[in-house]
Amino acid sequence: MGETDPEKLAAATGEDATVLQLSNDVSASSDHNGNHSTGSEGSSSEQEAVGTELRPINSVTASYEAADTKTKVIIVSALCMNLFLCALDQTIVSTALPAIVEDLGGDVAYSWVGSSYLIASSAFIPSWGKFSDIWGRKPVIMVGSVIFLVGSILTAAAKDMGTLIAGRTIQGFGGGGIMVLVNITVSDIVTMRERGKYLAAVGATWAISSAIGPILGGAFASYASWRWCFIINIPIGLIAMVVIWYFLHLHSPKIGVMEGLKQVDWLGSLFAVGGTTLFLVGIDSGGVTEPWDSPLVLCCLIIGATMLVSLIFIEWKVTANPIMPPRVFGHRTALASYMICFLHAQTFIAGAFYLPLYFQSALGKSPLMSGVLNLPFVFMLSVSSMGTGIIIAKTGNYRPVMRIGLVFMAAGAGSFVDWDRTSPMVKIVFFQFIAGFGLGPNFQSPLIAIHSTIQPTDIAVATSAFAFIRNLASAIGVSVGNVIFANEFNRRIPSIMQHLTPETARLISGNGGASSTGAVSRLPPDQRIPIQDAYAESLSVMWWYFVGISVAALLFSLLVGKHTLSTKLQSIQPAKARKKSEKVKKGKENVDEGVAVDEKSGSGEVPNNVV
């Protein structure tokens, strides 16, 4: 990154602020003890971060008051509004798909309405974080918001399936930037000790929007038009953009577009986007539109995985300004926290995806009612997430809540194994409370643990890596769960064939089990009940996988160390607030401001803090 204007980059948050300036000082050097010098201005307090130099900016250069709580709440609320839309669009189409296909046609391509958004948002996440380091958080999140809204307009106005999928892809591209920039921006404007409270709001927003997406999608499709699934993004997105533009003022780098483009890790971005896209296309297609052993699926999985593995080597040895530098994974606490993120994301997405499937398949509920029945899970998840943030802010310790949460996460996944076709509503609600209570704390706890081990200059790339792993894990969790469920369900079909007509048997055979729940619910009881029992039993077996990864996450949490959560704001792009004092431009003005004149005695006294 080119050297920035110190006055614009300085963070002044009172006496508790440490502001860091990035510069490409070619003379920067480091000795074997980690002390760094910068040619003529060496300082033992300066730190180096692979090609960039960190140095505290002189507080005399610029002094600003910290953003007050009201301003931070307004900023985070606007960011959460944007995030709400992005998370909503991941699930809102699930219950509106039948209406979309009926209106636009394209039965073969219908699955891409959902997957195109997920693939595009996941593939570009690492690049968005690095873009914000180069050009600043606010410009990049505004660009991401504009792209998301353009995709929403195109999708809402689509006249054919091709246009709809193109719009969803554009939405995903912009949505991926919003998803990661929300966490990065919150981390920039809030101290590490406070961060849990605000990141908890972000996690709760994600959970709530993911859960109510199917409810809204079903309501729009049934009582208005499926196009409202995307029209709703426009007014809410514009309001969020206006609030962000007005209230979010950061000390961002000033760098031209062309100069910034020279600093982009193009090779790393190519392998991240290409590898993620191919891998997720393989996962999304396998067992749905193509058999798992088909050449298309195998090529996508093998080539995609190879590119992602190659990305590790490229980021480690080849590129000078990596989008995911290996050093953010170098600490034991950070590596264990990334693994917890990977495992937690799979269990969460299983709750968001397979609990509604249980309600529809085993209990015979409508898509809209299944969303309503999922609310206890979301409610408890949101409450425990917010409570965790408050506890971390009060105690400065993230490990107890992390581990307690993982214990309940494993218990919740285990309790779902006990569900069957006749489970009473009390059991259904209570077990969701257990799982939600366990999942909530680990939306933010692993990220805070990671932040406690890295330099402020790595906040963006570390947070991008966290979001990238979470999205990748979500896709893997859905896919693995679907494979287990489908295999178990198909294994049970021969035992219930005596109860089924040939037409019903064809309906549920192969990979049609999960997609035929509506038709099954309309069958006569003598055919419907055996199929619903098979649904419930297959899902019970599937939940054992998520019990296993929940236990694995708990074991990884034992490797997470205790680190101090600073009450000082350490950021390279902190929020501006009301200007407190400015650098005096002329020597005479320095004298005039530095000397306190006693008008009565005519004497002058130089205060102690004036140098």
Q: Are 215 and 229 in contact (CB under 8 A)?
A: no
Q: Which of 46-50, 131-135, 368-372, 596-600 shows the highest mean pLDDT? A: 131-135
Domain boundaries, the chain: 6-65+577-596, 69-264+321-490+537-557, 265-320
Predicted pLDDT of residue 37:
35
Q: Is 313 exposed, middle or buried (0-12, 13-18, 19+ CB in 10 A)?
A: exposed
**Beta strand ranges found along 181-240 (DSSP E):** none
The domain at 69-264+321-490+537-557 falls in which architecture?
Up-down Bundle (1.20)
CA distances from 505 to 493, 501, 512, 524 (A): 8, 6, 10, 14
Q: Is the pLDDT of residue 190 over 50?
A: yes
Q: Which of 73-77, 285-289, 400-404 shows the highest mean pLDDT? A: 400-404
Q: Which of 100-109, 298-307, 414-423, 523-532 has the lowest mean pLDDT?
A: 100-109
Predicted pLDDT of residue 217:
84
| Pure H helices in 419-501 | 425-439, 445-451, 459-496
Distance (Å, whole) CA 409 – CA 423: 20
Q: Is the pLDDT of residue 239 over 80?
A: yes
Give the pair of three-digit tokens for residue 222: 């049934």
Q: Is 11 exposed, middle or buried (0-12, 13-18, 19+ CB in 10 A)?
A: buried
Q: Are 12 and 59 in contact (CB under 8 A)?
A: yes
The average pLDDT across 360-368 equals 84
Question: How confident is the model over 423-450, as pLDDT tens digits?
Answer: 999 999 999 999 999 999 998 899 999 9
Q: Which amino acid is at 362?
A: A
Predicted pLDDT of residue 66:
55
Distance (Å, whole) CA 218 – CA 373: 14
Q: Which of 22-31, 288-297, 446-455 shows the highest mean pLDDT? A: 446-455
User: For the whole model, what pTM was predicted?
Assistant: 0.79
Give the pair of three-digit tokens for residue 180: 């990661």
Question: How confident is the model over 106-163, as pLDDT tens digits?
Answer: 655 666 787 788 888 888 888 898 898 889 889 999 999 999 999 999 999 999 888 9
Relative to beta strand 596-597, strand 604-605 is antiparallel
Mean per-residue pLDDT over the chain, rounded: 80
Higher pLDDT, 94 or 64: 94
Q: Are 243 and 294 in contact (CB under 8 A)?
A: no
Helix (H) or strand (E) holding 416: helix 399-416
Q: Is the pLDDT of residue 68 over 70?
A: yes
Distance (Å, whole) CA 242 – CA 214: 28
Q: Are 81 and 206 in contact (CB under 8 A)?
A: no
Give the pair of three-digit tokens for residue 94: 């699930």
Distance (Å, whole) CA 168 – CA 226: 14
Predicted pLDDT of residue 250:
82
What's the pLDDT band for 353 if we cut at 50, 70, 90? confident
Q: Are 405 and 439 in contact (CB under 8 A)?
A: yes
Q: Is 475 exposed, middle or buried (0-12, 13-18, 19+ CB in 10 A)?
A: buried
Number of Cβ within 10 Å of residue 579's Cβ equals 11
Distance (Å, whole) CA 172 – CA 117: 4
Distance (Å, whole) CA 272 – CA 19: 31
